[in-house]
Amino acid sequence: MDKNTLIGIVLIFGVIFGFSALRPKKDKVQDAQSTENVQTETAAVALDSITPGEMAQAADIIRLAGTLVAAGDSTTPAVYVFESEGASLTAKGAEVTGTVDAIGVSLDYADVVAGTFPDSLTILQKQEAVGNLRKAIDNAARYQSFARFLNGEEAAVSIHNDVLSLDITNHGAYINRATLLDPRYRSMATGAGDTTQVEIISPITSDYYAFELTTASQRISTRNFYFTPAEVTDSSATMLLTLDNGSEWGLRYTLAPGSYVVKMEIVQKKMDLIIPPSVTSARFEWAQRMGRNESGRTFEQQNSSIAYKEPGEKPKNLGAAAKSRTLDQDLQWVGFKNQFFSTIIIPSNGFETAWLNQIPYNNSPEYLKDMAARMSFGYSSAVESPSIFNIFIGPNLYPLLRDISEDVIADTDLELQRILPLGWGIFRWINTLIVIPVFTFLSGFISNYGIIILLLTIFIKLILFPLTYKSYISQAKMRLLAPEIKEINEKYPGKDEAMIRQQKTMALYSRAGASPMSGCLPMLLQMPILIAMFKFFPSCIELRGESFLWAKDLAAPDVVLNLPFTIPMYGSHVSLFCLLMTVTNIVYTRINMANSPTQQTGAMKWMMYLMPVFFLVFFNQYAAALSYYYFVSLLITIGQTYLCRRFVNEKKLRAHMLAQAAKPRKKSGFMARLEEAQRKQQAAMREQQKGNRRR
């Protein structure tokens, strides 16, 4: 070890010992600083008290916000009491007395103002006392005559009819629970009991709405106040705030027998003493964290959205994704729509403007979306009943929504039934004019919805059978002309004779009465039915909770096996109806290819078989009723194909076509012009080829 190394080691140990010797002194300094901080905090609490000048102002504020408990006279001032969370204050003239809470201890108002706290109180208790007093004075100054309703005990009143039960909380006077009483509407969400009824509105999901009113000095929200129930019956209740000078503001709820619509009416008296007559609008705020009600999440989330309707327009919605929208025009209604249940606010005079916002919960097992809306509406403080709101809280049942649309507001078609995603244009017409009436008619006689779907499928296939038959005949004609087509192809081979080959082929088709398009057209005409049914079944609430064979819920996937892993796009379960539909679709594809006039080979053939596999992946998350319908429909189509094959004599059909082809036929003007155009094109191509050879 050299000299420099030895010196380095000594210096290191010297630094370590020196740091150890100095550290206790630093701790003592920190302790001294801590003591000083405590003293500073104690001083800060004392300095944060109310000054004598502010005490006189506090008395005036308490008289504005408090309740008169003793009237004064010429010699004795009146006594007002103001109760706040954490403080109880009394104003008698300019004198203020009372008590202030301080974490388990009640202190005298005068001691808190003066900052003379008992030595036993902790700093936190002193801060709490000053904070409670400040909060009480601030609330009294802000809310004035409304301030006395800021505190109370949470309670609720209940009203009901035979289909709907409502709980109305006194804290905000809004409906915080709405339960459907129909035994068909049980919650199907995972973890819900078999007897749990659907709660469209629930305190668990933090649903609320509130009115924002504008006083002479500020805006206040009714959600902050504790209302007093009045005139409560089984089907009606009034929630009131009784203010100064005989002023009142409240909400009256009324439920008609058998109705899913609750009437919410603003009731008030002498509010022009508090809210200036110049105020001509108020705001309605509404929020909901939409919970799940179904076992299948995919469709429930896709079909959950904020919907609204502008006058003269069809109802619209925000779609499935996160979205915010500001609307500066009038609205007839705004609704929070689930797959099968909705809450829709319908003001008697409409909304003037609206802001709508929704955010999906993509990974939550319990919730679907956060929904919020803020709307303005016309308001007058001088009218005893300035606004009426009809609130629909119920199932998305097409006949029910259609009738409500016509009955709630006279001479106004609200088109509430259009919140059901039944497709647009012709697809919706098919559903509303054919499918729903037949489905409703059959359900009046048959209780098993699996049988109803079977009969509905047979009915639709019978209507479409003429098209199916025509399609089969067209395919047969094209197939039976294959030898003649082959002969033309052999006679005119090569690209340079493609035009002649096509001309001869079309001429043969024309003479024989066959057409390549005639087979596609009947299939094309059937597509609107298939698409309409694709939109109908996921929206059909009648199927919800209905079992058939192994499917426990026709409105959800019929899960027969849960996989220990998740397949992308397919999911983590096996749907048996979807599997049967896929197998049947493969069989039908094979039969259809055998009947085709041109045999598919190679990649095209595999593409035809790949489509049913694609449907297997796509439909595995869909309602069992939809897969069941397509399965039965394909089976019937296969049966119709074999029926046509059995009763159509293809030899006679071929002989008839050849006889038709042998007859001279006058060309139509269109065909003559087409052939002339083809001849001119051929001549031009020949001239071009000659020019190329010369060069």
CA distances from 116 to 101, 111, 579 (A): 15, 5, 80
Note the pLDDT of residue 467. 79
Residue pair 80/68 in contact (Cβ under 8 Å)? The answer is yes
Write phi, then psi, for 246 (nearest 5 degrees).
75, 10
User: Residue 263 is encoded by which pair of tokens?
Assistant: 């009437």
Residues whose CB is less than 8 angstroms from the CB of residue 456 and which lie 6 or more positions away in sequence, other chains included:
435, 438, 439, 442, 629
Residue 157: what residue type?
Answer: V
Give dist(CA 264, CA 284) in Å, integer: 13
Residue 117's CB is within 10 A of a number of other CB atoms, namely 21
pLDDT at 693: 63
Please work out, in degrees rounded to the nearest 5, the angle formed at the alpha carbon of residue 339 by the alpha carbons of 338 and 342.
Answer: 40
* 421: helix, strand or coil: coil
For 668, half-sphere exposure in the C-beta direction (CA atoms, 13 angstrom radius) is: 6
Which pLDDT score is estimated for 562? 85
Residues 6+ apart with CB under 8 A from 514: 474, 477, 478, 481, 657
Does residue 410 come out as left (phi exceeding 0), alpha (psi in the -120 to 50 range) or beta?
Answer: beta
User: Dihedral of CA 679/685/687/689: which sign?
Assistant: negative
CA 446/CA 434 separation, integer angstroms? 18
HSE-CB for 19 with a 13 A CA cutoff = 6
What is the C-alpha separation between 78 and 527, in angstroms, rounded?
82
Identify residue 672 by its one-letter amino acid code. Answer: A
- Of 173, 198, 175, give the one whose Cα is nearest residue 187: 198
Instruction: Please check whether residue 666 is in contact with residue 615, taking contact to mean a CB–CB distance below 8 angstroms.
Output: no
* pLDDT, position 31: 45
CB contact at 8 A, 260 and 393? yes
- C-alpha to C-alpha distances, 427 to 106, 114, 530, 631, nearest whole angstrom: 71, 77, 9, 21
Strand partners, 283: 212, 376
Through-space distance between the first and last CA atoms of the chain, rounded to whole angstroms: 100
The answer to whether the CB of 349 falls within 8 A of the CB of 377 is yes
Write the DSSP assignment of 330-364 as a string of letters: -BSEEEEE-SSEEEEEEETT-BSEEEEEEEE-SS-
Long-range pairs for 226-232: beta carbons < 8 A, 24 or more residues apart: 226/149, 226/150, 226/151, 226/152, 226/153, 226/170, 226/171, 227/149, 227/170, 227/171, 227/172, 227/173, 227/251, 228/170, 229/157, 229/168, 229/170, 232/157, 232/159
- Are 150 and 237 a contacting pair, CB within 8 Å? no
Residue 466 identity: P
Residue type, 448: N
Please name the CATH architecture into which domain 156-421 falls. Answer: Distorted Sandwich (2.70)
- Return the domain boundaries, the chain: 37-147, 156-421, 449-656
162 with 141: CB under 8 angstroms?
no
- Nearest residue to 597 via CA among 467, 466, 484, 494: 484
Task: Report the pLDDT value the prediction gives residue 110, as an integer from 0 to 100.
Answer: 81
* Tokens standing for residue 185: 């509407």
* Residue stretches of the chain with pLDDT short of 70: 1-56, 190-195, 481-482, 485-486, 488-491, 494-498, 500-501, 503-505, 507-523, 525, 594-606, 649-651, 653-654, 656-679, 681-683, 685-686, 688-695
Is 637 within 8 Å of 468 (Cβ atoms)? yes
Element (H, E) at 109: helix 109-114
In the numeric block, which tokens belong to residue 520? 């596609």
Contacts for 666 with CB less than 8 Å, ≥ 6 apart: none
Per-residue tokens: 106: 């009640």
DSSP state of 181: -
Which tokens go with 432? 């509303």
Give start and end residues of each alpha helix (H) in 351-497.
Answer: 398-407, 426-430, 436-443, 449-480, 482-491
pLDDT at residue 652, rounded to an integer? 72
Query: How many CB atoms neighbour CB 525 within 10 A?
Result: 13
Q: Between the CA of residue 435 and those of 102, 270, 427, 432, what are the distances in Å?
A: 68, 54, 10, 6
575, 560 Cβ separation under 8 angstroms: yes
Residue 494 is predicted with a pLDDT of 65
Alpha helices in 513-620 (DSSP H): 516-536, 576-595, 602-619
Q: pTM of this prediction?
A: 0.77
Give residue 377's pLDDT: 93
Integer Cα distance of 591 and 584 in angstroms: 11
